[in-house]
Structure formats: structure tokens, C-alpha cells
Amino acid sequence: MGRKAWFYRQLLSYMPVFFIVISFVFFVFFQMLGEQSRQGAIQANEMMIQQAMRSVDNSLKAIDQMLVQELLFNPDMSEFFNHEDQDNVYLNMQALKAMKQFKVSNPLVDSMVLVRAQDEFVLSTSSTFKLQDYADYSFLRPYLSQANSEAKWSGVRDFHEFSFHNASKVLTLVREAPFVTHGKGIITINIKADAIHQMIRSMVNPEVSFIHVLDAAGHAMNASTSASEDGEMVSRAVSPYTNWVYEGGLTRGKMADFVSQLYNVWFMVGLLMCAAGIVWIIWVTRRNYKPIEAIVSRIQKYSQSKASSLLHGSKQDEFAFIESALESILEQSNSFQQQHREDLHLRKAYLFQQLMEGQYLSSLEQWNVQHDVMGLPDLSKPLTVQVIEIDKYTLFCDQYLQQDQYLMKFALKSAVQEIAAGQGAVIWTEWISASKLGVITEAREQNAEQQVVALFEHARLWTEEYLKLTITIGIGEIAERYTDITESYEQALTALKYKMILGENRIIHYTQVTGEERGHAFDFLNLIRSMAQSFRLVNGDWQAKYDTLIHNIEQNMLDRDGVVSLADYMMYSLGREMSCMAKEFQDLWIQEGQPALRRALQSSETLEQLEHSYGEALSSLFKRMSALMQGRNHADAILKIRLFMEQNSSNPDLSLHYLSERFDINWKTLSKLFREETGQKFVDYLIELRMNHARKLLQETLLPVQDIATEVGYSNAISFGRMFKKMTGMSPGDYREQAASDTRTTGADRSI
């Protein structure tokens, strides 16, 4: 016990510091925990705001979409806007009935107004008015004067139908009535701001958080809503649909204020604890300095005398133990030096990786310090980088045990080194990944590239013959300076990416894949979308489009990243098209089609393999879809209707009612069957059919836009232009100019 007095003295002297540090750690822990909880609350608040914004936007979009459907399919609405007889009681009653049904279907709707500009007649859910006498005329006037007013939601505004009524806060949707023969008509739908406010309040726990909603002009949804004085604003979002601002925060109560103040107190206590710990360490260190000084003196004396003189006897004190340990430390130092020499290859591998990534050297002097010790190449000479990749590495891992894999890789690396030594070449090889071996080769003065190709061609043939493996080698260009090694390495990796197009078990030089302008993946997206649409329609022309896609990929020399991106986009397009079809087709895609395509992509290393495996998976999926389609009721009838629509798309009267009379099918039943069989609404299918016909006419003819509109079933060229721009993103004239420009560019490329 007495022999350890110094140990216990040291232990007890530092014990207060230990408790101080532990206390400080606990303080830091609880502060971090509190901050983490606060961040979690902020994230939850942000998610709540996003959910509230989506709920409100979806409700408003649903009202807008139902209004569009009502305008398109309810004849009472269109008849109201195309007549000028204000005394037509039956027509007004039918329109009023339609408005009330719409209001019943949408609980948020407070009122609805129809305005007929040609005779200045206003019909609301409450009464009829002369336009100039209508109390809300000041709001409607700007929309009546605009040539092409787009449908949009207003901000919070005051609304009253009768001058003697109190104004209420509402949000208004204004939409122009389509297909008006004379003049102009608009429809307005009013929603009370309180209804939106109540919808949002139902999603919020006022004891925890709050949400404020402001319109685009900065007005609150509720007149009583203002920035909370008892809360902290932590998140904000802007609706892309309405441009309303959603602000949210955390409700701050008395407990939160108390914790916040306590945080400051603890922070000061923590600083004081740190200061006390520093003072204590200094005091204890100075107190214990003398025993340490005595130890140093004893060590110096020990170095001048025999060690055994202090180690005799059973009563060995702590200083004698320290002295005896010094000899052991010296022996361990010698052992460490030996181990250091044995670990040089690990340091070399690390230096190799740094050199490839351009993170190691700032000057050659730093390299030359370790040049001779580690047997490194001379970086003052021109160098070139190669990357050797084992082909079908997944199969290689499945075929050999892990121990055998290490042996095969060691044999490959040793073979490359021996072949290089036999030809007098200086190389440096290191594994840079599980399947890739990096090589740095000194370039000789004459015929450097040919000599490098001959060296690695020999290594490729030897590996194929003796190891029964195939390898693909990517070669970068010569790096004249050591700072260019990273670029040469990237070039070698880039060359390997074209193994999918050029094939495996070969040498690919960087100059082979960069000599000319290559295609880009986005050039093929339209072809992929068209092929996916053919699948949705169970049209056999998908095979020709697939073959064209593969041919274009091969001709444009896309690398592996580009091919994989196209394959992923094809799966995405097919999935999106399948999601519009009946449930059995969606289940077929999820359970069989998509997994088969993913397996085909993962197992393919070359374009030829991908073409075969992907094609088989697509053919199998198409056969299953065809079988399902043939087994469905009304498939033949819908097919005949589709053919009739394709042949008569220019008929402006083509509609569900027209087809229901011609084919003796109830129009509602026809709409439902059409959606089930094609995956599209009738209106969307008809618009897509007409727009495709219009694209073809714009590309292949010089007909005026008015004539093309008539050819595809539009009596109004303005309506045609608006719909064409909505579908394609550009006007018919711009589309024709771009198509002509693309044709000229393609012709120039072919002539070159």
C-alpha cells in the first residue's frame, strides 16, 4: 500500500477536475438534447406547413378542375353564355340549378356568379342583376376588359352582392367561359376566407404551434390573424399555385421562457466550471511537479549505471518499475522499426490513391524525399495512367471463394509487373477498388503510346490464357507533368465507361472515345416516351422503336452512365404510363415488369447483353399485357371507337355524346370504359390525338395555322393555338420554325 502512495496522491489530486469535467459534459449533453428537440419541432412545423399548403392547394385545384368539367360537359352553362335573352326564365333556372349543384358538391364554395358581357347580364346564386348595377362590378370590370384572361385566384377581398349587405372577406376564382359565340363571359366562384382559415386551424395544435396565411398582397386570411407575440416564427413556404405565403412557428409558453432563461444560467455555470477546472489543473500540476522532476533525474542516472543494480530484491518501488520499463520501451522501438518497414506497401497504396486524386504533392522535392526509400517512380518524366478492370466481376465473386479471389488478384498484379519488367518498362500498380487495378507507366521518348498498348495487350492475352479471366484496360493520354496524372487517370476511367458500347476483353484508349462530338441521353427521351405510350396502347410498333433506340445509342457512342440513365428513364416512363391503366396492368408492372427490367440492367455489362436481356423482359411484359387486354370486356368496342376517332379527328363535333349515339353506348358508360381501356380520359385522348396530327402537319406541310386548326377539328385558331402551346410548351409558329431548324441541322450532319 505504501509503495503506491504517489499513485493515490496523483489520483485524488485530479479527482475534482474529473467531477468538474463530468458535470460539464452532462451540461453539454442536455443542451444538445434540448437543441435537438427544438430542431425536431421546427422540422415538424415545416412539414405541417407543407401539409396545410398542399391541402389548401388541392382543395382550390379541385374546385377549378370541377368548374372546367362543368363548363365542358354541362350544356346548360354553355347555353346561358350563347343566348342574349335575359327573360328566358327556363334557361336562367337551368343555369341556376347547375350553380347550386356545383355549390352543394363543393362545401367551400360560398357563392357563384355568371356574367354575360354581350347583354351585361349577371346571374348569381342569389338573384339576377344588370352588370352596371351589380355591387361587385368594380372587381369584375378588369376581367371583362382583358383579351385573354387566365383563370386565377384573387387575394383576400371585401365582397357583397347587395349594397345594403355587410362586406365579407372572400377569395375569388375568375375563369373565362369557353366557346362563347358572341361577346365574352366569365364565371366567378367565391370562397370565404374564414373557411380556409378554419381548414388550416383544424390541422394545428394551438398549444404547440401556429400557422399564418397571407395572400400575394400580404393580407391575412382572417382579419383577426396577426403575428403571434407569444410564439417564434421558424418556417415559411410559398404556394406555387396561389403564391400565398404560409408562415409557421412554435407557441412559446411560460415553461419555454423559463427553460430559455435557465439555459443562460447553465451556460454561465459551465464557463465557471471550466475556469475552475483550469485553475485546479495548474495548481495540482505545480504541486506534483517535484516528484516528476525526481523521476527525470533518476532516469538520467539510470542511463549511466547498470539496470540490474536497482532491480534486485522483492521490494521494488514505482521509480524502479519506471526505470526497468525504459529498457522494454527501447526493445519495442526496435520491433516497431521492423514493422514500419513491413508496412511500406500500405503507405505506397495510400500515396498512389492521393496521387490519382491530385491531393498529395505541391513540389517534386517532397516526392524525392521518399523516392528511394519506397521505390517510387520518377515523377519528373512523362507518365501515363491505365486502369485494368476485371470483366463480369459479379460472376467472378460468385465463382471463386474470397481467398481464391485474393490469390487471383495477386497473380494478375504480379503478372503485369513481370511483363513490364521483361519489356524494360517502369510501372507502379495498386488496387484502387475491388475490381479495378490502377497502373502508372513511365512513357519512353519514342513510340510511347504504341509500347504501352503492346505491353497491356500482352497482359490481357496472358490473363485470358492462364487465369481464365477477361480484363478491359482503359488508357489515358500521356501526362507531361506530374500534376497532369489526375487528368490521365480520369481519362482512363472515362475510356472504361465505353466498355458497354465497344465490348469487353479489349484495350480502350481515351482518344478512341473523344475524337468527335457524341450524342447525349436527352436526345432519345421522346423516342422512349413514344415507346412507353405504345406499350400503354398495346401497340406492336414498340419493337421497332426499341430497335431504333438501341441503334441510335450505338451510333452516338453513349458511355455507360448515359445508357444506364436511358434505361432508368425507360422504366420511369413505362411505370408512369402503367399507372394510368387498370389495376391488373399496374399489378403486372409492379410484380413482374419492373423487377425483370431491373435484373436485366444489373446483369448487363455491354450494350449487346443489355439489348438482349431488356428486349426479352419487354417482350414478355407486352405478351402478358396483350393477353390481359384480350380478356377484358368491351376491348373490341373501344378499339373500334379509337380507330373511328383517328379517322375522324378533324370533325369538330367529335365528343362523348356523338360517339355514344353512333355506337349505341351510354356516354357515361363509354367514358368509364374508355378510361379503363386506354388509361386516359376521353378529352385528354382526343386532345393528344389532334395535337399529334397537328405536329405532323406543321412539320410536313406549309399550310397556314388556321387551316391546320380546321384540319385537326378546331373551328377557332386561337383556341387551337392556346391548346397547342399548353401541350408542347411553344406556339405552332415556333414549333414549325424549330422543326425546320432541326431538319436543316440533321441534313448538315449527314452531309458532313
Position 312 confidence tier, pLDDT thresholds 50, 70, 90? very low
Q: Is the pLDDT of residue 294 over 70?
A: no
Strands 427-431 and 209-214: unpaired
Distance, CA of 158 to CA of 718 (rounded, Å): 34
pLDDT at position 163 is 67
Q: Which has more pLDDT, 34 or 73?
A: 73
Whether the pLDDT of residue 228 is over 80: the answer is no
Q: What is the mean pLDDT of the chain?
A: 77
Q: How far apart, in whole angstroms, are the C-alpha atoms of residue 105 and residue 103?
A: 5
- Give the pLDDT band (50/70/90) at residue 387: very high
Q: What is the pLDDT of residues 151-207, one digit of tens each?
A: 678 888 888 777 666 778 888 888 887 766 666 788 888 888 888 888 888 888 777
Q: Return d(Cα 290, Cα 17) in angstroms, integer.
A: 20
In the chain, domain spans: 40-276, 296-339, 345-513, 521-631, 635-751
Rounded to two decimals, the pTM is 0.42
What values do phi and psi take at 676, rounded to 5?
-65, -40
Res. 94 pLDDT band, cuts 50 70 90: confident
Three-class SS state of 503: coil
Between the CA atoms of 748, 749, 750 and 752, what dihedral angle is there, to the nearest 10 degrees? 90
Residue type, 658: Y
Given a contact cutoff of 8 angstroms between Cβ atoms, the answer to whether 84 and 118 are in contact is yes
**Beta-carbon-side half-sphere exposure of residue 110 (alpha carbons within 13 Å):** 16
Distance CA 547, CA 395 (A): 28
Q: SS3 of 235, please?
A: strand
- For CA atoms 138, 139, 141, 142, the dihedral sign is positive
Q: Is the pLDDT of residue 489 over 60?
A: yes
Q: Average of pLDDT values for 364-382?
A: 67
Give the separation between CA 319 and CA 7, rounded to whole angstroms. 11
The answer to whether the CB of 476 falls within 8 A of the CB of 356 is no
CA distance to 1, 4, 19, 284, 295, per residue, from 12 (Å): 15, 12, 11, 10, 20
**Do 77 and 98 form a contact (C-beta atoms < 8 A)?**
yes
Q: Which of 66, 50, 52, 44 is nearest to 221 (CA)?
A: 52
Residue 327 pLDDT: 66
Q: What's the mean pLDDT in 516-532?
A: 67
Calpha distance 548→552 (Å, rounded): 6
Region for 505 from its dihedrals, namely left if φ exceeds 0, alpha if ψ lies in -120 to 50, beta otherwise: left
Distance CA 509, CA 540 (A): 40
What number is the average pLDDT over the span 688-703?
Answer: 84
> 342-346, 363-367, 719-723: lowest mean pLDDT where?
363-367
Per-residue confidence (pLDDT) for residue 462, from 0 to 100: 92
pLDDT digits (tens, 9 = 90+) for 248-279: 887 765 555 555 555 666 667 777 777 777 77
- Pull the grid cell for residue 116: 354575360
Q: Which residues pair with 111 in a beta bridge?
A: 190
Q: Is the pLDDT of residue 390 over 70?
A: yes
Q: Give 432-482 as a DSSP string.
A: -SSSEEEEEEEPPSSSHHHHHHHHHHHHHHHIIIII---EEEEEPPPBSSG
Exposed/middle/buried for 725, CB within 10 Å: 0-12, 13-18, 19+?
middle
Q: Following CA atoms 732, 729, 695, 541 in sequence, which dihedral angle do they give, to the nearest 10 degrees?
A: 180
CA separation for the pair 102, 112 (Å, rounded): 9
DSSP state of 131: G
CB 176 within 8 A of CB 238: no
What cell numbers appear for 605 in the block? Answer: 455489362
Return the pLDDT at 125: 81
* CA separation for the pair 735, 737 (Å, rounded): 5
Question: Hey, is 9 helix, strand or coil?
Answer: helix
> CB of 71 within 8 A of CB of 77?
yes
| Whole-number CA gyration radius for the chain | 40
Residue 370 has pLDDT above 80, yes or no: no
What average pLDDT does range 573-602 have in this prediction? Answer: 82
Q: Closest by alpha carbon to 275, among 32, 11, 21?
A: 21
Whole-number pLDDT of residue 633? 55
**90/112 Cα distance (integer angstroms):** 19
Quickly state the pLDDT bin for 375 (edges 50, 70, 90).
low
Contacts for 191-197: CB closer than 8 Å, 24+ residues apart = 191/60, 191/63, 191/108, 191/109, 191/110, 192/110, 192/168, 193/156, 193/169, 193/221, 193/222, 194/169, 194/221, 194/222, 195/108, 195/110, 196/56, 196/108, 196/171, 196/221, 197/221, 197/222, 197/225
Please tell me the distance from the alpha carbon of residue 247 to that of residue 339, in angstroms, as a whole number. 63
CATH ID of 345-513, from 3.40.50.1110, 3.40.630.30, 3.30.70.270, 1.10.10.10:
3.30.70.270
Asked whether the predicted pLDDT for residue 316 surpasses 80, the reply is no
CATH architecture of 635-751: Orthogonal Bundle (1.10)
Amino acid in the structure at residue 467: L
- What is the residue type of 217? A
| Residue 227 confidence (pLDDT) above 50 | no
* Banded pLDDT at 292 (limits 50, 70, 90): low
Quote the CA–CA distance of 264 and 275 in Å, as a whole number.
17
Say which CATH class 40-276 falls into.
alpha beta
CB 720 within 8 A of CB 705: yes
Are the CB atoms for 64 and 171 separated by under 8 Å?
A: no
pLDDT at residue 561 greater than cutoff 70: yes
With vertex at residue 548, the alpha carbon angle to CA 547 and CA 549, rounded to the nearest 5 degrees, is 90
d(CA 83, CA 88): 9
What is the arithmetic mean of pLDDT over 601-616? Answer: 82
Q: Report whether pLDDT(55) > 70.
A: yes
Amino acid identity for residue 681 in this structure:
K
String of DSSP letters for 600-639: HHHT--SHHHHHHHHHHHHHHHHHHHHHHHHHSTTHHHHH
Better pLDDT: 321 or 156: 156
Which residue, chain included where needed, has cell 522494454? 328
Alpha carbons 206 and 48: distance in angstroms, whole number: 13
**Residue-wise pLDDT tens digits, 421-432:** 888 888 888 888
CA-closest candidate to residue 638, choices 567, 537, 724: 537
pLDDT number for residue 749: 44
By three-state DSSP, how is residue 95 classified? Answer: helix
Amino acid present at 480: E
Q: How far apart are CA 204 and CA 165, in angstroms?
A: 33
554: CB partners within 8 A, 6+ apart = 501, 607
Closest CA to 558 of 628, 610, 636: 610
